[in-house]
A and B are shown apart, each in its own frame.
Chain A
Amino acid sequence: MPDGFGQRTPAQKTHTTCEVAITSPQTIRFAAAGRVLSVAFASIPTLVAVSLLPTFIAVEPETRIFLSTSGFEASLAAFVDDMRTGNVNRFYMGRTPRYLTEELARYTKNSAAFILPAVLIATAYAFGIPPARRVVAPRAPAPIGWLAMVPAFVVAMVLQTLALQINRATGIHVFTLAYLGGVGMPVFLPATTLALPVVAYSIKTAENAAHEIAATDYIRAAVGRAVPPGSLWFRHVGCGVLTRLDDAAPRVAATAIGTLFIAERIFNLPGLTVMLIEFPFDRGYQRYPPEVAEVAGVSGAWITSVQVEVVLFSAVALVLLYLAAIVVATSFTAAVRRLLR
Chain B
Amino acid sequence: MKHDRKRTTPRLVGLAVATLPMALAIFGPLLAPYGVDEQEPLRYEQTAAGERVPVPPPYPPSRRHLLGTDAHGYDLLTRMLYGARYTVGFVVAVAGLRVLLAFAAAGIGHVGAHSRERILRPRRTALPVGAAVPEFVVAYIAMVGIAFNPPIPPLTFALLQALLLAIIGLPGLVPTIRAMMERAVAQPFVEAQVAAGADERHVLQATVLPALADEFRLLVAHEALVVSLIIGQLAVFGVFVGGTKQTFDPIEYSSRTHEWVGLIGENAAEILGGHVRLVLVPFIGYILVVAAAALLAAKPRARAAAERRGRFESAAGGVEG
User: Are A164 and B316 interface neighbours, CB within 8 A?
Assistant: no
| Residue in chain A with minimal CB distance to B294 | A149
A266 to chain B: which residues have CB within 8 Å? 236, 268
Bound complex: CA of A319 vs CA of B134, how far in Å?
A: 12
User: Are A13 and B313 interface neighbours, CB within 8 A?
Assistant: yes
User: Are A281 and B131 interface neighbours, CB within 8 A?
Assistant: no
User: Are B144 and A54 interface neighbours, CB within 8 A?
Assistant: yes
User: Are B312 and A11 interface neighbours, CB within 8 A?
Assistant: yes
User: Are B319 and A319 interface neighbours, CB within 8 A?
Assistant: no
User: Are A211 and B308 interface neighbours, CB within 8 A?
Assistant: yes
Given contacts A58-B145, A154-B283, contact A257 B134 (CB under 8 A): yes
Q: Chain B's interface: helix, strand, loop or mixed, by majority?
A: helix
B residues 252-277 touching A (CB-CB < 8 Å): 264, 268, 271-272, 274, 276
Binds A, one of B71-79, B135-143, B173-181: B135-143
- Say if the beta carbon of B233 comes within 8 Å of chain A: yes
Q: Which of B132, B232, B235, B264 contacts A254 (CB 8 A)?
A: B132
User: Are A15 and B276 interface neighbours, CB within 8 A?
Assistant: no
User: Are B132 and A11 interface neighbours, CB within 8 A?
Assistant: no
A residues 25-65 touching B (CB-CB < 8 Å): 38-39, 42-43, 45-46, 49-50, 53-54, 56-59, 61, 64
B274 to chain A: which residues have CB within 8 Å? 164, 168
Given contacts A22-B319, A46-B132, A265-B236, contact A151 B141 (CB under 8 A): no
Q: Which of A15, A50, A56, A250 contacts B319 (CB 8 A)?
A: A15
Bound complex: CA of A277 vs CA of B315, how far in Å?
A: 42
User: Are A157 and B312 interface neighbours, CB within 8 A?
Assistant: no
User: Are B129 and A46 interface neighbours, CB within 8 A?
Assistant: yes
Bound complex: CA of A251 vs CA of B133, how far in Å?
A: 10
Given contacts A177-B272, A262-B233, contact A250 B131 (CB under 8 A): yes
User: Are A151 and B312 interface neighbours, CB within 8 A?
Assistant: no
| Residue in chain B with minimal CB distance to A56 | B145
Given contacts A53-B142, A216-B312, contact A157 B268 (CB under 8 A): yes
Rounded to whole Å, the gap between the CB of B87 and the closest CB of chain A is 14
B residues 296-321 touching A (CB-CB < 8 Å): 305, 308-309, 311-313, 315-317, 319-320
- Say if the beta carbon of A212 comes within 8 Å of chain B: yes
Rounded to whole Å, the gap between the CB of B289 and the closest CB of chain A is 12
Given contacts A42-B129, A164-B274, A178-B272, contact A215 B312 (CB under 8 A): yes
| Residue in chain B with minimal CB distance to A16 | B319
A38 to chain B: which residues have CB within 8 Å? 127
B225 to chain A: which residues have CB within 8 Å? 149
- Say if the beta carbon of B279 comes within 8 Å of chain A: yes
Q: Which of A9, A11, A178 contacts B316 (CB 8 A)?
A: A11
Bound complex: CA of A56 vs CA of B236, how far in Å?
A: 23
A residues 207-222 touching B (CB-CB < 8 Å): 208, 211-212, 215-216
Q: Which of A12, A254, A277 contacts B313 (CB 8 A)?
A: A12
Given contacts A13-B313, A39-B132, contact A67 B279 (CB under 8 A): no
Q: Which of B140, B145, B283, B309 contacts A9 (CB 8 A)?
A: B309
User: Are B272 and A54 interface neighbours, CB within 8 A?
Assistant: no
Which of A38, A45, A56, A157 has most chain B Cβ within 10 Å?
A157
User: Are A262 and B271 interface neighbours, CB within 8 A?
Assistant: no
Q: Which of B133, B144, B294 contacts A46 (CB 8 A)?
A: B133
User: Are A50 and B129 interface neighbours, CB within 8 A?
Assistant: no
A288 to chain B: which residues have CB within 8 Å? none
Given contacts A9-B309, A161-B276, A277-B140, contact A50 B232 (CB under 8 A): no
Rounded to whole Å, the gap between the CB of A275 and the closest CB of chain B is 13
Bound complex: CA of A92 vs CA of B290, how far in Å?
A: 43
A15 to chain B: which residues have CB within 8 Å? 312-313, 315-316, 319
B residues 81-135 touching A (CB-CB < 8 Å): 127, 129-134
Rounded to whole Å, the gap between the CB of A87 and the closest CB of chain B is 26
Given contacts A53-B141, A157-B279, contact A13 B233 (CB under 8 A): no
B276 to chain A: which residues have CB within 8 Å? 161
Q: Which of A13, A261, A322 contacts B317 (CB 8 A)?
A: A13
User: Are A164 and B137 interface neighbours, CB within 8 A?
Assistant: no
User: Are B134 and A212 interface neighbours, CB within 8 A?
Assistant: no
Bound complex: CA of A100 vs CA of B28, how far in Å?
A: 51
User: Are A154 and B137 interface neighbours, CB within 8 A?
Assistant: no
User: Are B308 and A208 interface neighbours, CB within 8 A?
Assistant: yes
Bound complex: CA of A67 vs CA of B149, how far in Å?
A: 14
- Say if the beta carbon of A24 comes within 8 Å of chain B: no
A58 to chain B: which residues have CB within 8 Å? 145
B130 to chain A: which residues have CB within 8 Å? 46
Bound complex: CA of A228 vs CA of B143, how far in Å?
A: 56
- Say if the beta carbon of B229 comes within 8 Å of chain A: yes
| Residue in chain A with minimal CB distance to B286 | A154
- Say if the beta carbon of A96 comes within 8 Å of chain B: no
User: Are A42 and B127 interface neighbours, CB within 8 A?
Assistant: yes
Given contacts A250-B131, A254-B134, A322-B132, contact A11 B313 (CB under 8 A): yes
New A-B contacts (15) at CB < 8 Å, excluding given A38-B127, A251-B131: A8-B309, A14-B316, A43-B133, A49-B141, A54-B145, A57-B146, A154-B283, A161-B271, A164-B271, A208-B308, A211-B308, A212-B311, A250-B131, A254-B134, A265-B236
The 10 closest A-B CB pairs, nearest first, are: A57-B145, A258-B134, A15-B316, A13-B316, A43-B132, A42-B129, A254-B131, A153-B236, A53-B141, A151-B229
Supply 15 A–B pairs (Cβ within 8 Å), ascending by A: A39-B131, A42-B132, A57-B145, A64-B149, A67-B146, A149-B225, A151-B232, A152-B233, A154-B232, A157-B264, A161-B271, A254-B134, A265-B236, A266-B268, A322-B132
